[in-house]
Structure 1
Amino acid sequence: MFKIKVPASSANIGPGFDVLGIGLNLYLEITLSNDSSDTSKDKHNGKIIYSGEGKENVPLETEKNLVTATALYVMRCNGMEKFPPGTVIEIHNPIPLGRGLGSSGAAIVGGSMIGNYYLGNKFSKERLLDYCLLIERHPDNIAAAMLGGFVGSYLNELDEKETQEKSVPLTSILPKEDTPATQIVSKPPPHKIGEYLKYNWNEKIKCIAIIPNFEVSTDDARSILPSSYEKADIIFNLQRLAILTSSLSQDPPNSQLIYNSMKDKLHQPYRSTLIPGLTKILDTLKPEENPGLCGICLSGAGPTILCLAVDNFDQLANKIIDMFKVEGIQCSWKLLELAYDGATTKN
């Protein structure tokens, strides 16, 4: 029996659009075992047992489930087309789907680690991120899920051949039933597609995730963004980004400095049209009127709101929940800490 745990994540922290992510201690859990008596007719020898968020709609065929399809991709690129006969893959997922807490990133990271296990654990986390990036294409969520803690990332400039390899269609990496065999990728990805750096984090700062009861499609959230930006808005984010990465490590936390350096002009203003009440929440909750609050931002593409705080967690969560109620939206909330170790395994 082999166990894998992958944390949820929050990306786009403050001004760090497509740059900053944090791993959170809410874990996707995967257990691998073998049942030689299993008569599963899955064409890749895998039986999926799924529980948790989205249970009613999550596909259980190994080529359609994001976790196992990722595992099969990693294996296929290294000469292994199927799971060993009798493979049982138990997946428990408490991470809300489509809410900006990295459910797909966790699934992809977890799948890559399944593939790595059946290949004899031959790859480092950093190499597995190359595989993950061909599926996710944005490093902030998957880096936080794989490496844990508070992570910055960027994509390397690759040569022409590597760029072509990186840009293959997703259906060639996670093939559908009608994908021609000649188009299915079975070659390992380029090395070092991205670079990653873990920052320090003051452990007094906790994360309040306020989770509205509706989903926001990542594709919708990206399509609503402009194709170009005003120079002043870009400078606004860069200035705050330079301060935020250090301010979150200071002790005691400087709540006003963190709050101001978490402001953003590149994605939150545009995504407010998809999330009723977002602008009011971001504009009205301030540290001077809410003791314990350090900063507030949209988590990933939303609709989850992420509050950084050192105290008064219940009061802050309930205040935001009440503001969403005015818009007719119900919410739940979780108090989370950073998952400093990222994805972990255990025999």
Structure 2
Amino acid sequence: MVIFMVKVRVPATTANLGPGFDTLGLALNLYNEFTFEEIPEGYKISGFKKEYGSTNNLVYRSIKETFREIGYTPTGISIDANTNIPISRGLGSSASCILAGVIGGNELAGRPLGKDEIFQLATKIEGHPDNIAPALFGGLVISLMEEEKVIYNRIEVAKGIKFIALISDFTLSTKESREVLPSMVEYKDCINNINKVALLISALTNGRFDLLRYAFKDRLHEPYRGKLIPDFFNIIEKCKKMDSLGVYLSGAGPTIMCIIDEDNEEFTKEIKAYLHTLDQPWNIRELNIDLEGTKIL
């Protein structure tokens, strides 16, 4: 017998957006859906790959942490997943699991937490807000940690663009991609990213998409992470020559994200033909900005 049930939908996210390292994140219309049930006893986890079907599952751990935080003890928990966001590809799959667990637990417990409290708790579990923020609020979000508080601001992006995700068949863990980053960087590289992220935000909000080609020039993480991804730098250069407005490494990678004019019908066909010439298989997804964020269905 089911006591209570709730379904949560969480969008994919693309973080960093080139120079906005650990600061910018954007929600996309690719989704994971999770159904939570409070059942008479025990726990059930279904819909995940075998290796994620135990209590070490990130959704399960997040819902348990939520119950602990708010002091709620369920009779039992059932979690069922319908996942479309690729795992360990730089598209926010971990953030989607964490947010779903926190929101699912909050719903089962009678909604004691408000949206900002959900955001704070999910960020605490994740460790950083750059994927959590857009996944929860939708759209483009700036987020940062100020002492123990998470600060965020949502930004309106002008219409007229779409996103082309080049998704590799291989995975790249955030831990691995963090380990290649230097402990110190040069002053001029920091100045470069400050300049470029300011230009990026203004171009996206004002619809000056012609300026994006100058904004997507990162010096803090892509030069190091790109070395972990076969053909990364060649793909970047090819996308630039194919009239992409901008191209960057999505999150920690290995997904490469291209921004193109919404009326550009040739880019996808051309980049697909090019990717087929490479040794490493790549999949292509045309995506748009999700403005709703996480929804309870």
Shorter-chain TM range is over 0.9
Query: Which structure shows the higher strand fraction?
Result: 2
Gaps of 5+ in 1: 159-192
Contact map agreement 1:125 1:147 (CA 8 A) in 2: no
Partner-residue secondary structure (3-state), 1:90:
strand
Contact map agreement 2:7 2:104 (CA 8 A) in 1: no
How many correspondences in the alignment?
293
Contact map agreement 1:321 1:330 (CA 8 A) in 2: no
- TM superposition score normalised by structure 2: 0.92
- 1:96-245 matches, cutoff 5 A: 96-158=86-148, 193-245=149-201
Q: Is 1:71 paired with 2:68?
A: no
Q: Is 1:50 paired with 2:47?
A: yes
Partner-residue secondary structure (3-state), 2:110:
coil
* Alpha-carbon distance between aligned partners in 1 of 2:131 and 2:254, rounded to the nearest angstrom: 16
* Alpha-carbon distance between aligned partners in 2 of 1:148 and 1:94, rounded to the nearest angstrom: 17
Shift of 1:98: 0.7
Partner-residue secondary structure (3-state), 2:151:
strand
* Alpha-carbon distance between aligned partners in 2 of 1:314 and 1:212, rounded to the nearest angstrom: 22
Shift of 1:321: 4.2
Gaps of 5+ in 2: none
1:47–1:314: structure 2 CA closer, same or farther, 3 Å change rule? Answer: farther
Deviations 1:96-151 (A, max 9, x none): 01111010011011111011112211212221122112221121011111111000
Which among 262, 287, 290 is matched to residue 336 of structure 1? Answer: 287
Contact map agreement 1:210 1:321 (CA 8 A) in 2: no
* Alpha-carbon distance between aligned partners in 2 of 1:254 and 1:34, rounded to the nearest angstrom: 48
User: In the alignment, what sits opposite 1:80?
Assistant: 72
User: In the alignment, what sits opposite 1:254?
Assistant: 209
1:107–1:278: structure 2 CA closer, same or farther, 3 Å change rule? Answer: same
Q: Is 1:298 paired with 2:253?
A: no
Aligned residue type for 2:251: G
Partner-residue secondary structure (3-state), 2:34:
strand
Contact map agreement 2:8 2:33 (CA 8 A) in 1: yes
Name whichever of 132-141 and 216-225 sits farther off.
132-141
Partner-residue secondary structure (3-state), 2:206:
coil
- TM superposition score normalised by structure 1: 0.79
User: In the alignment, what sits opposite 2:31?
Assistant: 27
Shift of 1:290: 2.9
1:224–1:230: structure 2 CA closer, same or farther, 3 Å change rule? Answer: same
Contact map agreement 2:239 2:258 (CA 8 A) in 1: no
Aligned residue type for 1:134: K
* Alpha-carbon distance between aligned partners in 1 of 2:273 and 2:217, rounded to the nearest angstrom: 22
Contact map agreement 1:277 1:324 (CA 8 A) in 2: no
Name whichever of 209-218 and 302-311 sits farther off.
302-311
Partner-residue secondary structure (3-state), 2:197:
helix
* Alpha-carbon distance between aligned partners in 2 of 1:145 and 1:215, rounded to the nearest angstrom: 21
Partner-residue secondary structure (3-state), 2:205:
coil
Contact map agreement 1:210 1:317 (CA 8 A) in 2: no
User: In the alignment, what sits opposite 1:165?
Assistant: none
